[in-house]
Chain A
Amino acid sequence: MPDDAAALPAPRGLSDAATRRRNYARRYAWFVVPAAVVVVSVIVFPWLFTLYVSAHDWHLGSARRFVGFDNYVKLFGDARFGWAMARTLYYTLLAVVLPMVLGIAAALAFHRKFPLRGLARTVFILPMMATPVAVALVWTLMFHPQLGVLNWLLAQVGIPPSMWVYAADSVIPTLVMVEVWHWTPLVMLLILGGLASLPVDPYEAAKIDGANAWQSFRHITLPLLMPFIVVALIIRTIDALKAFDTIYVITQGGPGQASETINIFLYLQAFAFYNVGYASAVVVVFFAIILALAALLLWTRERVKQT
């Protein structure tokens, strides 16, 4: 093998090093084998099997029939799916923008030193770690139109009571409110990590040049923070698209279908109507969207690493 390498026109040292690195790497492959077996059987197998199921007319408990792309064709003509997609986009837009704005504001606040900062930060991240179902139940009680504490609070500041999750036009903003409460802390943490890594010198220079606080935020902090903001933005987008637990627990897609996002639609098709062939087609389409975002995430991550 070394003789073969020597016979090649490539510089000897380089190709030797390359071979050695490959062999060296191969020895570590055994470390990955157990995890690879698990990942293939519980993650990759489901992906492939979903593709297979999506090409069938398959209701649980009855015979399956191969139908090719029929499920996909049906999907694009399905108004209920179209509405679910539109609601998902509406929900995602709100559930990305609001936590981003609040999360960046919170990160700037927590970046400053103030008394009890550690305690305040710990409390601030509690919602993120709390069990979503448990918290969703308490929100449900708070949304009660007659007896809920939220309408009482609104009355104290002179705002007329809201129907919260019990009316079609307020249900999605209300669910977004829960999502904002839940996930703003993650945005805050990602941005706070970014702030901690910023250099000090530009600020000193700007101070000497007479820049005020807003100018140095706008022209120094924001551009330097951009990579972190992009990462937080993409993570938030993917998480907002994935939202299921709180929506399912609080409304189950109701009232009517007013909060039926893709995830709820998918769940109902698969496990209420047992229409697993059709539901699998939904998974594939949804997965394609998320995959595109994943590519973006990886690409951004690499770029952030380089800078």
Chain B
Amino acid sequence: MNRHRLKRRLTDAAFGLSVLVLVSPAVLVFLWMLSLSLKTELDNTAFPPVFIPDPPTLDNYREVFARNDFLLYAWNSVVVSFSATGLALLIGIPAGYGIAKMRAVRAAALILIARITPGLSYLIPLFLLFQWLELTGTLVPIVISHLVITVPIVVWVMISFFEGLPSELEEAALVDGATIWQAFRHVALPLARPGITVATILAFIFSWNNFVFAMVLAGRETRTLPVAVNNMLTFEQISWGPLSAAALLVTLPVLVLTLLAQKQIVAGLTAGGVKGA
């Protein structure tokens, strides 16, 4: 009996250890990012490394806000992500509904192919198009190019969501003389609210995280945060503290969103099984 319990304890300990090994890289990278952002340049380039900032300093954050037009780029990111997500919801929710109702397999396949094409491959034609339309230097090309990411996410999530809804209620509304638009607007749409939440969160995160579209299409004034933060590495003398502070600020909104809405994110990703361009 005693030996049995010992064996059980040991396997439990081994299991706990392997979970720790699996999870720790995820935590440690973010903690190291935080540590770098709170230390002086002297501590950051010390070897052996200094792990706990002592004393922690907010100077790196002050420097980021002071010198890099960081707020302008943050505003650009907010405008682009919100517009691209909002527009995608406006056109993607009805489309998902229509495709689910029509069982349009080919339309669904098209969306899927759009979903898996490398984002980079859209850039040459879009770049030429925006140059020809003389839209470069505004946020419009970036918002439009982000639709390449957000529209397929929203449509794809909404298709699987509407397919899972029971159709009896809408049919009852149709029998009572509602138009299909009214049945969609007043019956299906309220039921689909959880699906809409999932689609919104995923579209927003993948738009916020996107790098390549804005890198090619943005001018000096229209950079989004990922582009601005990458430029800190490429064009300036690298200082580790401000760079880490900026990187952390860029990714903090999505990390917080992930912590708050992990249930929806998990549901959306496993249903769609697809991610950002």
Chain B binds chain A: yes
Q: Which residues of A contact B (CB under 8 A)?
A: 25, 27-32, 34-36, 38-39, 42-46, 49-50, 53, 102, 105-106, 109, 112, 114, 120-135, 137-142, 146-147, 149, 152, 181, 185-186, 189-190, 192-193, 231, 235, 238-239, 241-242, 244-245, 248-249, 263, 266-267, 270-271, 276, 279-280, 283, 286-287, 290-291, 293-294, 297-298
Most A Cβ at <10 Å: residue of B26, B114, B244: B26
Q: Which residues of B contact A (CB under 8 A)?
A: 15-16, 18-19, 22-23, 25-27, 29-30, 32-33, 36, 45-49, 90-92, 94-95, 97-99, 101-104, 107, 109-114, 116-129, 144-145, 147-148, 151-152, 155, 180, 184, 205, 208-209, 211-212, 216, 225-227, 229-230, 232-233, 240, 243-244, 247-248, 250-251, 254-255, 257-259, 262, 265-266, 269-270, 273-275, 277
Contact of A28 with B233 in the complex, beta carbons under 8 Å: no
Contact A138:B33 (CB < 8 A) given known A120-B19, A131-B208: yes
- The docked-state distance in angstroms from the alpha carbon of A102 to that of B26 is 13
Contact of A270 with B128 in the complex, beta carbons under 8 Å: no
> Which partner residue on chain A sits nearest B18 by CB separation?
A109
Partner of A271, one of B90, B155, B216, B257: B216
Most A Cβ at <10 Å: residue of B23, B25, B145: B23
- The docked-state distance in angstroms from the alpha carbon of A44 to that of B109 is 13
Contact of B113 with A126 in the complex, beta carbons under 8 Å: no
Contact of B180 with A27 in the complex, beta carbons under 8 Å: yes
Contact of B29 with A287 in the complex, beta carbons under 8 Å: no
Contacts of B113 in A (CB 8 A): 291, 294
Contact of B151 with A35 in the complex, beta carbons under 8 Å: yes
Contacts of A231 in B (CB 8 A): 273
Smallest CB separation, A276 vs chain B (Å) = 5
Smallest CB separation, B36 vs chain A (Å) = 7
Contacts of B120 in A (CB 8 A): 244, 263, 266-267, 283
Contacts of A238 in B (CB 8 A): 116
Contact of B29 with A132 in the complex, beta carbons under 8 Å: no
- The docked-state distance in angstroms from the alpha carbon of A192 to that of B266 is 10
Smallest CB separation, B118 vs chain A (Å) = 4
- The docked-state distance in angstroms from the alpha carbon of A51 to that of B27 is 45
Partner of A123, one of B26, B117, B147, B155: B26
Give the interface SS of chain B, mostly helix, strand, loop or mixed: helix
Contact A38:B151 (CB < 8 A) given known A28-B101, A242-B118, A298-B112: yes
Contact of A270 with B91 in the complex, beta carbons under 8 Å: no
Contact A263:B118 (CB < 8 A) given known A109-B15, A181-B25: yes
Partner of B114, one of A43, A105, A138, A249: A43
Contact A126:B30 (CB < 8 A) given known A31-B184, A43-B122, A152-B48: yes
Smallest CB separation, B163 vs chain A (Å) = 11
Partner of A53, one of B99, B117, B124, B211: B124
Contacts of B127 in A (CB 8 A): 270-271
Contact A42:B126 (CB < 8 A) given known A129-B205, A134-B248, A287-B117: yes
- The docked-state distance in angstroms from the alpha carbon of A128 to that of B151 is 20
Contact A127:B121 (CB < 8 A) given known A42-B148, A189-B269: no
Contact A105:B32 (CB < 8 A) given known A30-B98, A49-B128: no
Contacts of B232 in A (CB 8 A): 137
Contacts of A30 in B (CB 8 A): 98
Contact of A270 with B26 in the complex, beta carbons under 8 Å: no
Contacts of A121 in B (CB 8 A): 262
Smallest CB separation, B191 vs chain A (Å) = 16
Given contacts A28-B98, A46-B122, 9 further A-B contacts (CB under 8 A): A43-B148, A53-B124, A126-B30, A130-B30, A133-B229, A142-B29, A239-B275, A242-B118, A290-B118
> Which partner residue on chain B sits nearest A156 by CB separation?
B48
Contacts of A46 in B (CB 8 A): 121-122, 124-126
> Which partner residue on chain A sits nearest B118 by CB separation?
A242
Contact of A50 with B22 in the complex, beta carbons under 8 Å: no
Contact A134:B229 (CB < 8 A) given known A32-B107, A125-B258: yes
Contacts of B251 in A (CB 8 A): 130-131, 134-135
- The docked-state distance in angstroms from the alpha carbon of A102 to that of B148 is 31
- The docked-state distance in angstroms from the alpha carbon of A139 to that of B128 is 34
Contacts of A245 in B (CB 8 A): 211-212
Contact of B230 with A249 in the complex, beta carbons under 8 Å: yes
> Which partner residue on chain B sits nearest A232 by CB separation?
B273
Contacts of A248 in B (CB 8 A): 211-212
> Which partner residue on chain A sits nearest B250 by CB separation?
A134
> Which partner residue on chain B sits nearest A293 by CB separation?
B116
11 A–B pairs (Cβ distance < 8 Å), ordered by A: A25-B103, A42-B126, A49-B125, A114-B19, A124-B22, A131-B250, A138-B247, A147-B46, A245-B211, A249-B233, A294-B116
Partner of B26, one of A126, A134, A149, A241: A126
> Which partner residue on chain B sits nearest A126 by CB separation?
B26
> Which partner residue on chain A sits nearest B151 by CB separation?
A38
Smallest CB separation, B185 vs chain A (Å) = 11
Contact of B269 with A186 in the complex, beta carbons under 8 Å: yes
Contacts of B254 in A (CB 8 A): 129-131
Contact of A189 with B270 in the complex, beta carbons under 8 Å: yes
- The docked-state distance in angstroms from the alpha carbon of A298 to that of B116 is 12
- The docked-state distance in angstroms from the alpha carbon of A142 to that of B45 is 11
